[in-house]
Structure 1
Amino acid sequence: MSEFGYLDALESEAIQILREGVAEAEHPVLLFSGGKDSTVLAQLALRAFYPSVPPLPLLHVDSTWEFREVIEFRNRFAFENGFELVLHHNEDGRQQGLNPIDHGDLYTSTMRTDALKQALDFAGYDVIFGGARRDEEATRAKERVVSLRNAAHGWDPKNQRPEIWSNFNWRKKSGETLRVYPLSNWTEFDLWAYILSRRVSLCPLYFASMRSVVDQNGKLIVIDDDERAAALGFGPPQIEKVRFRSLGCWPVTAALRSEAQDIGGVVRETFSSSLSERSGRVSDAGSLERQKREGYF
């Protein structure tokens, strides 16, 4: 057993879930945002089906307000690892000019939830793998590893199946789908330990660099697009050395001041911090449970 032996058990469990889910699916897909969780999940899929080409595509629901470095990392990751990459955004929402600052919950519902449901329906995906973890947020803890969704992709936390001794219920009726979370039993510490021990490459935004930021009510927002930032009313930027602990839409995802320029430094900073993992998600002010009931990942 390796120096990080407990990670081998977590890895084996996740690989088992991926293999079982793909075997039970007609059209499986892996949700990929370019963040650390979905990157680890995609790496596990590579291990699960090696040496074959991964038998499921990566699906990125593009809100149209993604960081440019996330897009670049996403494209490079898919190409280098032989994944088919499927992209989707909600064209109606884009035409309406929705943005995460002015339109809040409407933006999230339209550009995230509705866009995801459109993508799943269009391709007929029935087993959808995601990188969410139970320790990430209180609502996540109500999920099972295999989460049943109705024909409208709705989720009822009271209608969760028991999972005893890692026996997962893959049954579904016509029109129903399954959201599957192989990292459910991982913590943020486990994730970073795995990234460190397996040398997983991540989006550069997780590492400290000199970046153009504005202070919005005490939150450091990295200016990813000068023209759009001006239209949103952001003031003049300043240059600071910052990184991200969690990634989302750039106008509502705060960075933190940091000197951590490699994974070891990030791990040391993360586990000496008193802030929660999602403390930088300005958009988390709404109800995640309500969004999940409506079909959010």
Structure 2
Amino acid sequence: MTTTLNATEEQQGSPFALSHLDALESEAVHIFREVAGEFERPVVLFSGGKDSIVMLHLALKAFAPAPVPFSLLHVDTGHNFPEVIEYRDRTVARHNLRLHVASVQEYIDRGALKERPDGTRNPLQTVPLTEAIQQHRFDAVFGGGRRDEEKARAKERVFSLRDEFSQWDPRRQRPELWQLYNGRHAPGEHVRVFPLSNWTELDVWQYIAREGIELPEIYFAHEREVFSRNGMWLTAGEWGGPKDGETVEKRLIRYRTVGDMSCTGAVDSDATTLDAVIAEIAASRLTERGATRADDKLSEAAMEDRKREGYF
């Protein structure tokens, strides 16, 4: 008696079937190549955080053995973790890339921006970012945002149109059926591009492990002086912490996400290896931003409000 396999069974048993990570990688590589074919002046946002590191790794793969045909852009708050800035500069030098830095501190020094009472500079990134885009005439800007991070980001398409003021209007979202991306834009407008939209935090870490990608050490458990504020472990620094009544203590912690020191919290952890980090994330019930980003807790619509103004 002859048994006939259905299409699903054949695909699962096929040596040519893509794994989950292979499919995500293939999609991201396709997006990078699509942008290279559609746009004149793309740029990749690169902060030295894990998502931008994975995004750069995918860009290097997409165009190898040729160099990446895009420059990099970092909006530097001036309150970044030193380990991450060192990693950023080392990576740029290793791959012979061009890095543009938009400095929040420069805007503060010349009076174009004012420090916030809470000391956080994440919301202050919008003006330097949008002006850098306008100055260099970037028409496509790659970001490492993922839909699983936060509900406003879950609304966004892979190709997300911004108007001439870099503002986002959810009503102007375009359909993306069959991975067909519409990059049309009027003069002065640009498109934000998210190659990792369909990835999860766990996908990112599993891909880092598979590819052997180097990361800044603060993503792994280490002893650090921190203090507690609103249920989060924050790093002491010139930005204004700790305040009266907030006690600094040394704890074994690591960071799930990296941003401005004033609003990026650490988590208690003894995960010193990739396997241990992956196991920790698989057991977590909080997103990385929900667990460690104070700037997202300012209001229910904090991220969406900032995106409408031009933030990533």
Per the normalisation by structure 2, the TM-score is: 0.87
Q: 1:12 is matched with which residue? A: 26
Q: 1:83 is matched with which residue? A: 97
Q: 1:120 is matched with which residue? A: 133
Q: 1:257 is matched with which residue? A: 268
Tell me the alpha carbon deviations over residues 127-150 of structure 1, each in whole angstroms, 9 at most, x when there is no partner. 111111111110111111101111
Code of the aligned partner of 1:246 = T
Q: CA deviation at 1:270?
A: 1.2
Q: 1:189 is matched with which residue? A: 202
Q: Is the 8 A contact 1:139 1:289 kept in 2?
A: yes
**Aligned counterparts of 1:212 and 1:44: Cα–Cα separation in 2:** 34
**Aligned counterparts of 1:158 and 1:230: Cα–Cα separation in 2:** 40
SS of alignment partner, residue 172 of structure 2: coil
Q: 1:295 is matched with which residue? A: 310
Q: CA deviation at 1:108?
A: 3.9
Q: Is the 8 A contact 2:227 2:242 kept in 1?
A: no
Q: Is the 8 A contact 1:100 1:252 kept in 2?
A: no
SS of alignment partner, residue 250 of structure 1: coil
Note if 1:285 corresponds to 2:274: no
Code of the aligned partner of 1:213 = V
User: What are the within-5 Å matches in structure 2 for residues 77-226 of structure 1?
Assistant: 77-90=91-104, 91-95=106-110, 98-99=114-115, 102=118, 107-109=121-123, 111-223=124-236, 225=237
Q: CA deviation at 1:222?
A: 2.0
Q: 1:270 is matched with which residue? A: 281
**Aligned counterparts of 1:4 and 1:270: Cα–Cα separation in 2:** 24
Q: 1:260 to 1:3 in 2, by over 3 A?
A: farther
In structure 2, stretches of 5+ residues that fail to align are 1-14
Q: CA deviation at 1:295?
A: 0.5
What is the count of residue pairs matched by the alignment?
292
**Aligned counterparts of 1:34 and 1:234: Cα–Cα separation in 2:** 33
RMSD of aligned residue pairs (Cα, Å): 2.1
SS of alignment partner, residue 271 of structure 1: helix
Q: CA deviation at 1:95?
A: 4.8
SS of alignment partner, residue 47 of structure 2: coil
Q: 1:230 to 1:256 in 2, by over 3 A?
A: closer
Which has the larger Rg?
2
Q: Is the 8 A contact 2:119 2:240 kept in 1?
A: no
**Identity over aligned residues, as a percent?**
42
**Aligned counterparts of 1:233 and 1:4: Cα–Cα separation in 2:** 55
Tell me the alpha carbon deviations over residues 274-297 of structure 1, each in whole angstroms, 9 at most, x when there is no partner. 222111101112311111011001
Q: 2:42 is matched with which residue? A: 28
Q: Is the 8 A contact 2:228 2:247 kept in 1?
A: no
Tell me the alpha carbon deviations over residues 11-50 of structure 1, each in whole angstroms, 9 at most, x when there is no partner. 1110011011022111110001211111100100000111
Q: CA deviation at 1:167?
A: 0.5
**Aligned counterparts of 2:95 and 2:273: Cα–Cα separation in 1:** 22
SS of alignment partner, residue 241 of structure 1: strand
Note if 1:238 corresponds to 2:249: yes
Q: 1:230 to 1:159 in 2, by over 3 A?
A: closer
Q: 1:49 is matched with which residue? A: 63
In structure 1, stretches of 5+ residues that fail to align are none
**Aligned counterparts of 1:121 and 1:234: Cα–Cα separation in 2:** 44
Q: Is the 8 A contact 1:208 1:258 kept in 2?
A: yes
